[in-house]
Amino acid sequence: MSLIENIIRPDVRALDAYHVPDSAGYLKLDAMENPYRLPENMQKKLGEHLAEVALNRYPVPSYTELKAKIRETLGIPPGYDVIVGNGSDELIVIVSTALARQDRRAKVLAPVPTFVMYALSAQFAGMEFVGIPLKADFSLDMDAMLDAIRVQRPSVLYLAYPNNPTGNLFDLEDMLALIEAMKDIGIVISDEAYQPFAQTSMMSYLPKYPNLVVMRTVSKLGLAGVRLGYMSASSELLAEFDKVRPPYNVNVLTEAAVTFALDHIDVFNRQAAALRGERETLSAALSALPGIEVLPSSANFVLVRLENADTVFEKLLAKKILIKNVGKMHILLDNCLRITVGTPEENKQFLELFSACLSQPV
């Protein structure tokens, strides 16, 4: 037996590492990023602000100023606090670590297809992931979800709102019914990574449902490079999650950059509004193309279904256009491509080349 076979878990050995394709020289429309950089005057001010950060000191682990700025700026209900993490990914790990009991195998429930880190984090923590397929229109299969809650009794239910990679918002009444069904069993996490583009949130329901957690990130807002996620819930839940949070999990440059950025939240809100408008323009243009089904989206990406999606994807790659081929993620996504909404110029370039690829012989 080799060293690797002796020490590395079999399920980890069977995995592939998370792959991020090289985007140098490509039109990058694959990662749901905000395509707009900071205005030049803000870049200069941010540079001056970061220059004052004491890089020789550890972060103060309470993150008092940063959390106060998040509460004041991003719609946290009065009396509620937040926990911050190195992106939403770390917050999901924190939740899994806190809920992975040693006396029995805890379960994680989510509709599928959805964000892959729910299942991966559950696996790495030794939890069991239970995925319930969405309906063909990507709505929740409520009978199956409620039955799974009753039978599986999961410790946590993840509901991405809007969902990734489908882009749709689940019905609010369905979500409330699931939170109610989980109230004596486990927590429900409303993962609102794309909230700036959906303009709806479960934050206001936190006081009504003690088992509700709302998780967000500043990545889609326009700060993907600094990696900051935050989540809000009852003080009792946050206190337990905080026990397994690494003490210096957010670095001082991220803390300073986000605090600065939230002082200029109007800039990011205007960018989000522009991208919402571009999403509708892009969706309409795609719908006008022959053989393209455009799925409704409340996020900063558009999901389309077409014949020969794999072939079209490869043709786009050859033309230096990078989008996401999600067809192999789940049977419901067969022949689906996911396109991040870019600037008007990027979207125009994409549409021209996409249309050309469709017209080329297979």
Q: 171-225: per-residue pLDDT in tens?
A: 999 999 999 999 999 999 999 999 999 999 999 999 999 999 999 999 999 999 9
What CATH number did the domain enclosing 176 receive?
Answer: 3.40.640.10
Same-domain status, 179 and 308 = no
**Which of 263, 295, 316 is where one domain is finished?**
263
Supply φ then ψ for residue 201, to 5 degrees: -160, 160
Same domain assignment for residues 15 and 60 = no
pLDDT band at residue 362 under the 50/70/90 scheme:
low
- Whether 107 is in a domain gets the answer yes
DSSP 43: H
DSSP string for residues in 100-158: --SSS--EEEEEES--THHHHHHHHTTPEEEEEEPPTTS---HHHHHHHHHHH--SEEE
One domain for residues 229 and 333: no
* pTM of the full structure: 0.95
Residue 47 included in any domain: no
Q: Is the pLDDT of residue 17 over 90?
A: no
Residues 6+ apart with CB under 8 A from 318: none
Q: What is the pLDDT of residue 361?
A: 59
pLDDT recorded at residue 16: 86
Q: Is residue 224 one of the residues assigned to a domain?
A: yes
In a domain, residue 222? The reply is yes
* Whether residue 255 sits in one domain with residue 279: no
In-domain check, residue 122: yes
Last residue of a domain, one of 245, 263, 281: 263
Q: Which residues form the domain of 96? A: 55-263
317 shares a domain with 280: yes
Instruction: State whether residue 60 is helix, strand or coil.
Output: coil
Domain count, the chain: 2
Residues 141, 7 share a domain: no
Are 259 and 276 in a shared domain?
no
Residue 1 has pLDDT above 80, yes or no: no
Whether residues 229 and 242 share a domain: the answer is yes
Q: Does residue 101 fall inside a structural domain?
A: yes
Same domain, 30 and 105: no
Q: Indicate if 91 and 205 belong to the same structural domain.
A: yes
Tell me the CATH number at 277.
3.90.1150.10
86 with 211, same domain: the answer is yes
Q: Which parts of 194-293 fold into alpha helices (H)?
A: 195-198, 235-242, 252-262, 265-287
Residue 272 and residue 258 share a domain: no
Residue 210 preceded by cis peptide, ω within 30: no
